[in-house]
Chains A and B, each alone.
Chain A
Amino acid sequence: MFKVGSKLFLGLTGFAAVNLVAYLVFVERLAIGGVALSIVFAALVGLTAAVLIVNEGDDEAQPRDNALTRASMWPLVTVLGLVLFVLGLVVAQVYFVLAIVVVLAALAEWMVQAWSESASDDPAHNESARRRVLHPIEFPVIAMLGLGVIIFSFSRIMLAISKSAGAVVFMVVAAIVLLVGTIFAVRPALKSALVGGICVIGALGIVAGGIAGTGAGLREELVEAAEEGHYTHRECGAEKSKYFDKKAMKTLSLRSNVAAVIELRDGRLSADVYGFSGPQEVISVPRANPVTFIFRNYDDAERRMVATLGTAMAAAAPAEGGKDAHDGKNETCTQLIPNGAEQALTITYNKPSIAQEEPFTLRVPGVDGQSIEVFVP
């Protein structure tokens, strides 16, 4: 009953079970690692059961024929994976993870090939058995990798060229894909070699473009933005960044969640709170819950909105991840935005208004004598 293959899988299953139990006991319960190891264990149980049920596809009495054994590239790939494994331990984690994937994949391929070669005396049947087991896995994986390479290459192209050129390239590529797809659909008699060739040429073109894009690097404004770190800085001092994503602030989800819309129009600062018919001078927002304000500037000059966070809040420890840390300052703000633009500001008020010496406010520098009070119960 238990032959080489089943013993191997039983051993692996036992090893996975020990790993799982050890992880749950000594490392952490209810963690993603435990889930992953549970899935590995379950998969091995399934594979072991399958191997036992089909009796390894073998007949014990059948004599083995070494001539049926083909040359295999998997030992070589496994060794390369192991080299990468050691390299990853020294250089970077990404190689280490990649090595684990390579080694596991190579071992799986190797084992299935070895198993299939002892299935019968007919090499064609053996190859068929191998394909039956591995093709349902190999094809999706290869397709996913191929798509990943193409998407990654395309993203390199889009990041290298200007925004307007990017729009043109996107439209042209989409039109070509639509056109070629339409031709394939209306001409089903086209030779598969021709179809495959066109697809390969297209894919190679995108990959080549991606390589060229990587060589050219990011477009200028993205490089500047990365250097300035404008995605993270919220300083209320001198403006550091020329670029900000105005359109990102116009998303539906953000608009549906605002605590108030603060507008500067005709020199007057007003707060529009959903549910109230007129402008409000005091906005009441819940404590310890993120609230989003949208600032709209209709003034000729570039303006920003500054939120004063109060003394107690500034003294409090920042929340998880430091998202509410304001570099020790008791204010945070939007960036300078031109006439007609808007920007959102999300704040978590952890302390109530009564804990403050000065009220929480929203104001616009340069617009004196006006502010919106934010009351936190």
Chain B
Amino acid sequence: MSRRGLARSIAAFASLFVLGSCATEAPQDTWQPKGPNAQMIDDLQRPVFAVAGIIGIIVFVVVVYVIWRYKDRGQPIPEQTHGKPALEITLTIIPALILAVVGVFTVRVIFDLARTDDTELVINVTGQQWWWEYDYPTQNEWGITQPIITSGQLVMPVGTKVLLRETSRDVIHSYWIPALNGKRDAVPGRIHTLRLEADEPGIYAGQCTEFCGLSHANMRMEAVALSKDDFAKWVANQQAAYQAPAEGTLAKEGESVFLNQCVRCHQVDGLKRADGTLAIAAPDENVWSGAAPNLTKFMTRNTFAGAMFDLLRDACRDDVWKAESAEFGEKYLAGVGEACLNVADLRAWLRNAPAEKPMYANPTLLTETNGKYRGMPNLGLSESDIDKLVAYLLTLR
């Protein structure tokens, strides 16, 4: 490549980087805080970034100048001098002072972010390959009279200091909703806490940020902030009793398919077998992590498969995501109806889940996982069974 070509290529790449930083629709942008915790981090990182950037530019310019000015042109080697105590001390003290100032503010922010004594709502968060489970312990002041369990989307009230108690069932994961706070590792056997608070209703995207296996990149999460009134409605609906599909409907047939196939791992609270006994899922016997998403109110969520896929069609999804604050709650609480259901992705998932998301769920490899799946296996469902299941899942609202 000629020099001119090389220069053009470098300029093109540099332009791409610059243009990339101008993206406005970037839900995981760390520079767009949407809550006081993320704001604290932002208030710290901007001046630090500015100072580091200025120093970086100075160093870069000096290095480039020295390389260019003193490059080997056959001139004699100049006199070599060693030891300039005044300069060395100055160059030690200045960075030390800068780091000390940064350190003071950083430590203060760290302590502020670690507070738990002002918590208003506690949510347990459990990570496993490759999805997040949320359970809401009993908290009468929020109307949570019996614990709620859900997955994929963390639902929380706005303007509320929410404390996540994180852990993991298998490997280390890391919970990160950039718009609401920094990262916190979810470690097996440990409980780590993370504060979240959102200023406005909306959906805030996140991503597992600790490499956790095949589908780490697909282990996503969304925090949904609702007004307190809307949150109360959401809580009430989550605690509402199970409504079995009407007899003779496709959904009722889907319930049978669910009982035969899915209930081995997925719990639907209140679902009963034909003999009237409660159907109890046994993910501990079938899944490596010991858990599978509870699907009790499946269609009140907007995502599935570890928030990798949307349950809503694109137009409906945009309608919810881009809703004004005042309308957001109503649109979100509407859940997923038949008209808005992303049937294509859901059917593809039910048809052959490992083909849609890399998972360690090949039956021929089960000897190496002690007979258990990492992720959802291919259940070999017929198209007819898939029709019935989709109809049934649509009733879980």
Verify if A128 is at the interface (C-beta below 8 Å from B). no
| A62 CB–B CB distance under 8 Å | no
Q: Is the CB of A282 within 8 A of B137?
A: yes
Q: A277-B117, A286-B291, A289-B169 are in contact. Are A377 and B191 (CB under 8 A)?
A: no
Judge whether A377 and B294 touch: CB under 8 Å: yes
Within the assembled complex, what's the spacing in Å between the Cα atoms of A201 and B126? 57
Please report the total number of A residues contacting B with Cβ < 8 Å.
33
Within 256-288 of B, Cβ neighbours of A (below 8 Å) are at 267, 269, 278, 280-285
Within 8 A of B (CB), among A231-269: 253, 256-259
- Does the CB pair B138–A276 fall under 8 Å? no
Q: Is there a chain A Cβ closer than 8 Å to B312's Cβ?
A: no
Minimal beta-carbon separation of B235 from chain A (angstroms): 15
A320 to B191, CA, bound (A): 23
Say yes or no for B345: interface residue by CB 8 A criterion.
Answer: no
- Closest A residue to B187 by beta carbon equals A257
- Tell me how many residue pairs across A and B have CB atoms closer than 8 Å: 88
CB–CB B133/A286 < 8 A: yes
- Convert A352-367 into 0s and 1s, putting 1 for each residue whose CB lies closer than 8 angstroms to a CB of B: 1011000000000000
CB distance from A65 to the nearest CB of B (A): 55
Residues of chain A within 8 A of B282, CB atoms compared: 351
Residues of A within 8 A of B137 (CB): 273, 280, 282-284, 375
Q: Could you say which residues of chain B place their CB within 8 Å of the CB of A301?
A: none
- The reply on A6 being an interface residue by CB < 8 A is no
Instruction: Give the distance to chain A from B145, nearest Cβ to Cβ, in Å.
Output: 10
Q: Find chain B residues with CB under 8 A from A2 CB.
A: none
A29 to chain B, nearest CB (A): 9
Residues of the A chain whose Cβ atoms lie less than 8 Å from the Cβ of B29: none
Q: How far is the CA of A287 from the CA of B146 in the complex (A)?
A: 16
Query: A274 interface residue, CB < 8 Å from B?
Result: yes
B147 touches A354 (CB 8 A): no
Contacts of A276 in B (CB 8 A): 119, 122
Indicate which residue in A259, A275, A290, A354 contacts B163 across the interface (CB closer than 8 Å): A275
Contact A289 B167 (CB under 8 A): yes
Q: Is the beta-carbon distance between A288 and B116 smaller than 8 angstroms?
A: no
Check A377/B116 contact, CB under 8 A, given A286-B124, A289-B167: no
Closest 7 CB pairs of A and B: A288-B290, A284-B137, A377-B149, A350-B284, A355-B280, A288-B284, A286-B126
Residues of B bordering A, CB below 8 Å: 116-117, 119, 122, 124, 126, 133, 135-138, 146-149, 163, 165, 167, 169, 188-191, 193, 267, 269, 278, 280-285, 289-291, 294, 368, 370
21 A-B residue pairings within 8 Å (CB atoms): A253-B190, A257-B189, A259-B191, A273-B122, A273-B137, A275-B193, A282-B138, A283-B137, A284-B135, A284-B136, A284-B138, A286-B124, A286-B126, A286-B167, A289-B169, A289-B290, A319-B284, A354-B269, A355-B278, A375-B147, A377-B135
Give 19 A-B pairs besides A258-B191, A290-B189 with Cβ atoms closer than 8 angstroms: A257-B190, A259-B191, A273-B122, A274-B191, A275-B116, A275-B122, A275-B193, A277-B119, A280-B137, A282-B138, A284-B124, A287-B284, A289-B126, A352-B281, A375-B138, A375-B146, A377-B147, A377-B148, A377-B149
